Structure 1
């Protein structure tokens, strides 16, 4: 296979689709409480997310190649120049693709809004790679993590709801906030992976302070999300069967416990994928309960 085909095929990363697709399903499902769901619009949003996310992954891979080359460069001035060039080229590709996609569908509102919602976390990610070294990337960047979660969990949910109902209600805002909160777990799991990779051998009985704190935050996010979801269901009079989403929580808790007792890089790497799948399952079950 040609190196170019490998490069392009590597941009299709199914696990990068779990979060935005789940958020779109969440927003669309909640819109059914007020307005009939437009099947063609929903399908268009899903296809658009797949295409746009794959293109953004391609731009991210291209930028990563520049970053790796810049990190290997001895001259600080050349390194900074390469990093700035990588950020500019990645953003140029992403914005150009979104404009092309919008033009191809006649500047339809779904393509513009959803593409921009995906562009925001992408811009945050590539900017972090430009500003920070790998040793800093997942350390003390809580502001970047929060914006990333907000853009991945909150915006697609609210936009999908708006596209179906032409307004924004308490349902979409509250559920989007819960989705953004749970999306923080993905960033925290990546941070845990990095911490483990920085240590050659970790004793489960004496975890590094940074890793122990990270795992406590992960547990706090799970507890807070479950309570916030329950409060949303109760106060907004959402059907109580939506509470079946808690069936996805044991799988999330299990991954945290596994990393806590087996702090190994391969275990932590598997957690990042399992958490994203659990995120998808959590909100799909929520919408299934709403529909029953």
Structure 2
């Protein structure tokens, strides 16, 4: 093989990717309206491998592989935009094919990408995901360009029409700190939804307290709720988090369905519609629809999108 020719091909591919990315970013955004919801979190391209079983020390066959744009907040924003909600996203991508894929995915549904920062010294974040025949998964994160997110990439002002900011985890400590300080400083008119995920939950309640105190809605799994509070009883665990300040907690519980825990709080009166006779603390359970599980990747992100859509339309929590 001619190595010189090989190197030229690489440079050409990178150049093509950069031209496409710059072209996408230069296009006009939301000529019809500004974003109601803005996402902030990791931008990753998911490399998903289907396997017969997950192994910790052994070998198994990969039966299928696919590559798609991902990231928790990105998935939620994508879904909302696809449903017609004007959205934007804040984050970092690399100057590569994966970054191009992220941009094209957002552009396809009309997400405003002018707050995306291209990092020339980093590759776009990647997640290597292995999913077995039961839908169980193991995810491994290569943060890449997400580690470049700093206060400089987080806008000091947001459009007056923006009603929600949806935040999810970032791998680096300095990135989490920048996101936390930015989120805390958001104007009171903006409601915050926060989905910490396993990466943030592992840091413990003391670290996440400022996020939870500022949030209007907290999205967690049943296991994350228990780990975060060290309380096994669902209602008691929710009350513990409500006492920090978050009025609404949405809990996903797999085949068990989902739970919505609501506690009356001054900051929840505007976006959340509840029956006038609602108790001080209400815990509502919604059973899961019986389906054959193929892959749970992104399920919680889609759940968050549906919840936010209902809140944007002021649908009652028990609808």
TM over 0.5: no
Higher relative contact order (CA 8 A, sep 6+): 1
TM-score (structure 1 length as normaliser): 0.33
TM-score (structure 2 length as normaliser): 0.31
Return the structure number with greater helix share: 1
Return the structure number with greater strand share: 2
